[in-house]
Amino acid sequence: MKSTDHKIVELQLKRKIDNFSQIAHYCPFKYPAVVEVNPFTAGIPAPTIYWLSCPALNYQVDRLESESNLIDELGQKLKNDLQFKQQLAKAHQDYARQRRQLLTAKAEEQAQKISVDLLNTLLYSGVGGIKEQLGIKCLHTHLAHFLVTGSNPVGKIVFAKVSWPEECLICQERTDKLESSSN
| pLDDT tens for each residue of 163-172 | 998 888 888 8
Position 183 in a domain: no
What does the pLDDT look like over 114-152, one tens digit per residue? 999 999 999 999 999 998 877 898 999 999 999 999 999
Instruction: Answer yes or no: is pLDDT of 182 > 70.
Output: no
Asked whether residue 181 is domain-assigned, the answer is no
pLDDT category at 183 given cuts 50, 70, 90 is: low
Any bridge partners for residue 34, and if so which?
25, 52
Q: How many domains does the chain have?
A: 1
For the segment 55-79, the average pLDDT, to the nearest whole number, is 95
Average pLDDT over all residues of the chain: 92
Contacts with 33 (C-beta within 8 Å, 6 or more apart), sequence order: 25, 26, 27, 52, 53, 54, 57, 147
In a domain, 180, yes or no: no
* Domain-embedded: residue 123: yes
Q: What are phi and psi of 33, to 5 degrees?
A: -115, -35
Q: Which domain holds residue 77?
A: 5-174
- 179 in a domain, yes or no? no
133 within a domain of the structure (yes/no): yes
